[in-house]
Structure 1
């Protein structure tokens, strides 16, 4: 065997060894974050080309309402048609939760995931929806009722994991369409800070709590910071990116609807960054960073399928929809006085949305666009 052939063989052997180590390490890491312990390594059906994934973000340990999923997006990918559908669901959507007794039980959608995680607080919850994977199955079922098609898998990440993921990518360049200032962005860990007020001064505290009902920043200013983002391309590290996608109190671009639209813009920026840096080498560092901050039931076979599609991501057509009161939702109040959002077709009736999503999946464009105006 000549030197050239030996060199090629040696290089090939090294690459195979690295590939094998990559697969083994990926499998070990992935098994630790996957909540479907018995099936995470199973093969996906060969003839199935479309998958739906519910993506959720929550505060995590140390945050008030630690497991409230205030960010919820449904991603549907069709590998054969090379199309992607992204649907954002606001946190205040009012949904029915399945019970063991069959009694009606309604809650805001952002609280559904935590019900399965803490079933002792909800004794009438159906048994199959209790526990870590049960919580995932529960929220997939509830969201599937809204979209009109089943949700195959879920992925949930906390704030810390989100920041780490963006930093691992080296930050992201985001095009900010509209400048905005949010004077009420909550500081981490300051949710219950009394801002140097004596905790024993009950009269003063009662006065401040009364003020906080209308003007929380006046009562407890140390709990908040002011954010500002200018129009144009902005480079964001993990901490800045989290503020960008969480902010909801800006007069110019606030509320859950504006926030949902920004989250979709941010996902586009993440996709662009992934394509520009070469994602594969970062998979292991990323999973290392996210090991304690990410939960999913996506089988590793589908992860590999997604990784293979990364080079072709620019070829995919993308349809983005944000559920708002301009299209599918209407404002209402629950029996106990909570502000909620219900379907315009009627509480729990999603005919219009189902029809539009079916058309999108068939390749029929929506007119007018269901996106909120900016």
Structure 2
């Protein structure tokens, strides 16, 4: 048949058996090398292969693959032993060494590919970028793995170089919390990106739908393993920032000057030989200014040895002196005494100083936000003869929440059976019947928040001195039993309880130095100044109190003395989650045992 093109009489040309491929006319300028415009070149129809000799049906031409050949991408996701398997697009069945694989062999090859993808994705979950080292993105895997290693080494050095508590406190500053938040967020995103990229690079191109969904499900699980702790860490940082915004308050420095704060360098306390902190237990919320101080204690710390001197101030101490630069000195030049109000100083006791100053707030500077707190601090400084550097106010009801959040506290409950009363109300020197709701049994045991609170504040069956001794023992126990690893598990509860019930005028950026100081306190001696046994509360000898304090803080460090938190009991502890309600067989002693002016705290704990 002639090779000259002809027109079909119908819209679609129907090729008869043995007939040549239909041709069409095109201008010469469309053909490379065409010179004569009148020349007509005959070319096959687009997309059809022209076979003039045989009667075979024309086959459509396959488009040329773009980018890397398909078989190259497939082979990069294979293990080395499987790379001799052919995966060419034009092959209906994969081949190996020129031989077509059976269905069983194909399934086996793809199963090995899936196992490899799961293994590498899991490795990228264990450590960022490790799984990418066996893919074409190996250099990215090297960068991620080395970056994670350097970050971990730096964080480990910061955290453990000066102790866990001091290291953690470095991230508790304002800048540290923001840096930690950014580090956790970016680190989690990079880690998760490495997991997703590993899964993408190791997935097969000819996998079945079940294999693809298996890898997707596994990858999702691996992402959650990284994402959930990261979200929890971000939550911890957010809760901490919120609590610290409430806890840390500004200190009024209009009278008495600033606190002797730590410096910089390897030893921040090098130029500060001693730090004095006042602990106030309030019987009202920390956001209420008109309150009575239920307990008052000065903690004087030797920054070199960690030796701690505890000085409890009796709540019923009378005629306490106001500093001359305090506006209250003009009202009470001879001390806080007011017999005209009811005789015998019925209202003018140490625990009423806060309210007295608040009632005369107009006599204080306008920029002084809390004259009651400031005056209480200054009066106690006059009593003990020490400059009070920092003050912590703790709501006593919040103390219960704090101990519960810490998981309880181990302590030795003193006294004969039935123990320390819970509740109780005294009227005219007698206990109101039915007001005692239970007892804390004697012995070494673990107290929950409620029992720890009544251990520290109950005074129904004893004296104020007995009560103050127990408070010193409680402070001693809490300091010694601070475990950073246990606190992490109860971190949120501790922070929320602290934010609601504690106010502290320590600058937040000084927390790392104070954490280091707490570590030193654990290895130091703990001494107690027994004020109540040495002076009369209605006519106290303040010069004698100052002399006792001076003797205590000048006592040399004794490496053989019991450390902070040591107790006289060696028996195994019992748990005290509920009080004993048995009736007492004997009346608890109301007299305090005579003790020396300065003793080791552990002797009474």
1:4–1:43 Cα change, 3 Å: farther
Contact 1:50 1:76 in 2 (8 A): yes
Structure 1 position 6, deviation (Å) = 4.1
Tell me which residue corresponds to 2:522.
314
1:111-156 deviation digits (Å, cap 9, x = unpaired): 222344xx2x336x74049965432221111001111111111111
Q: Tell me the alpha carbon deviations over residues 176-221 of structure 1, each in whole angstroms, 9 at most, x when there is no partner.
A: 232355797547xxx8xxxxxxxxxxxxxxxxxxx95454514xx4
Corresponding position: 1:217 with 2:432: yes
Instruction: Report the Cα offset of residue 43 of structure 1.
Output: 9.8
Q: Which has the higher contact order (CA 8 A, sep 6+)?
A: 1
Which of 78, 82, 87 is 2:311 aligned to?
Answer: 87
CA pair 370-84 structure 1, distance change in 2 beyond 3 A: closer
Aligned to 1:354: 546
Deviations 1:318-367 (A, max 9, x none): 1112311x21x1143xxxxxxxxx32x3xxxx2222222223222359x9
Q: Name the CA distance, whole Å, in 2 between partners of 1:79 and 1:70.
A: 28
Q: Report whether the alignment pairs 1:33 with 2:247.
A: yes
The 8 Å contact of residues 163 and 238 in structure 1, kept in 2 or not, is answered as yes
Equivalent residue pairs, number: 321
Q: CA deviation at 1:35?
A: 3.1
For residue 109 of structure 1, the aligned residue among 332, 350, 371 is: 350
Deviation at 1:256, TM superposition (A): 0.7
Q: Which residue of 2 aligns with 1:147?
A: 384
Cα 1:80–1:282 shift into 2, 3 Å: farther
SS of the residue corresponding to residue 291 of structure 1 reads helix
Instruction: Report what 2:404 is aligned to.
Output: 167
2:166 aligns to what?
none
- The structural deviation recorded for 1:26 is 4.3
Judged with a 3 Å threshold, the aligned counterparts in structure 2 of structure 1 residues 317 and 176 are, in CA distance, closer, same or farther, namely same
Tell me, yes or no, if the aligned pair for 1:184 and 1:225 is still in contact at 8 Å: yes
Aligned to 2:474: 266
After TM superposition, give the deviation of residue 233 of structure 1 in Å: 1.1
| Contact in 2 for aligned 1:59/1:66 (Cα 8 Å) | no
Checking the alignment, whether the CA contact within 8 Å between 1:183 and 1:226 is kept in structure 2 is no
Show structure 2 runs of 5+ residues with no match: 1-138, 157-170, 182-235, 254-258, 264-270, 338-347, 558-594
Relative distance call for 1:7 and 1:34 in structure 2 (3 A) is closer
Q: Does 1:235 align with 2:446?
A: yes
Q: How does 1:1-374 map to 2 (within 5 A)?
A: 2=142, 5-9=146-150, 11=152, 20-21=180-181, 26=240, 28-36=242-250, 44-46=261-263, 47-61=271-285, 67-94=291-318, 95-97=320-322, 98-99=326-327, 102-104=330-332, 105-106=336-337, 107-116=348-357, 119=358, 121-122=359-360, 126-128=363-365, 132-179=369-416, 181=418, 185-186=422-423, 213=428, 215=430, 217-218=432-433, 221=434, 224-250=435-461, 254-275=462-483, 277=485, 279=487, 285-324=493-532, 326-327=533-534, 329-332=535-538, 342-343=539-540, 345=541, 350-364=542-556, 368-371=596-599
Alpha-carbon distance in 2 for matches of 1:354, 1:137: 21
Contact kept in structure 1, 2:278 and 2:299, CA below 8 Å: yes
Contact 1:181 1:226 in 2 (8 A): no
CA contact (8 A) 2:306 2:525 kept: yes
SS of aligned partner of 2:598: coil
Distance 1:282 1:307 in 2: 19
Specify every segment of 5 or more residues in structure 1 that has no aligned partner in the other structure, as ranges: 192-210, 333-341
- Superimposed CA distance per residue, residues 71-97 of structure 1 (whole angstroms, 9 cap, x where no aligned partner): 111001122232111111110011244
Q: Calculate the TM-score normalised by the size of structure 1.
A: 0.72
The separation in 2 between residues aligned to 1:314 and 1:293, in whole angstroms, is 25
State the Cα distance separating 1:267 from its structure 2 match: 1.6
Local SS of the residue matching 2:482: helix
State the Cα RMSD in Å: 3.9
**More strand, by proportion:** 1
The answer to whether the 8 Å contact 2:422/2:440 transfers is no
CA distance in 2, matches of 1:184, 1:363: 36
1:265 Cα deviation after fit: 1.2
